[in-house]
Structure 1
């Protein structure tokens, strides 16, 4: 019968494997901390990548339009500087009670609308 031999890994290889695992672990911890500290993980975007939000003319409806395309009928772009970016941000909340009328003016909606 043959001799059973053990395969020994050199200690340098084991140290390198531990170092790689440590670096990966540290990177995951840093990425998680950055997401929590910046609020990225807690804010849902109004539109997906490659889209921009539009508001319904005369109402509180909104939609997302692919970049480079014009808003569909019945919708218009939000006024500059008043574009909601995340759910429940300042402008998302504002546009729940305001709209853009057919003449392009920002108006407050009557209560209950």
Structure 2
């Protein structure tokens, strides 16, 4: 008669191992899908190597390569008032404000 050995209490039977593996995989999927729910994605105004410029007299904007000057009809945003991400404080502000031809901040004529 074969001699029976004592298995450790933590040993898994083949059926249990599959159930535990499935449970762990399910838990990992829940964490992967919902684990970042509190993290909000913010889209940058411009890509790396670019800076944003504002349409003079309007609320339009564009992105210009770092080594280039703004095109005609556009100006750099005033220092400290440059939008960084879509819908940040300054992006929203410049929806209703613009620069005049002298660089003064004014209410945008086409403001919503």
**What do the CA deviations read for 1:38-88 (whole angstroms, capped 9, x no partner)?**
x4xx10000000000000000000000000110000000000000000000
How high is the TM-score relative to the length of structure 1?
0.63
RMSD: 2.1
1:26-105 superposed matches below 5 A: 36=39, 39=40, 42-105=41-104
Unaligned runs of 5+ in 2: 1-31
Distance of aligned partners of 1:62 and 1:112 in 2 relative to their CA distance in 1, 3 Å threshold: closer
Residue 11 of structure 2 corresponds to which residue in structure 1? none
Q: How far off its partner does 1:112 sit?
A: 4.9
**Contiguous gaps of at least 5 residues in structure 1:** 1-28
Check 1:48–1:111 CA distance in 2 against 1; reply closer, same or farther (3 A cut): closer
Q: Whole-Å Cα distance in 1 between the matches of residues 109 and 75 of structure 2? A: 20
**Distance across 1 between alignment mates of 2:110 and 2:64:** 28
Give me the TM-score of the superposition, normalised by structure 2. 0.63
The size of the alignment, in residue pairs, is 79
Give 3-state SS (helix, strand or coil) of 1:96's partner. coil
Q: Where in structure 1 do 4 or more consecutive aligned residues deviate above 4 Å?
A: none
In proportion to residue count, which structure has more helix? 1
CA–CA distance in structure 2, aligned partners of residues 71 and 47 of structure 1: 14
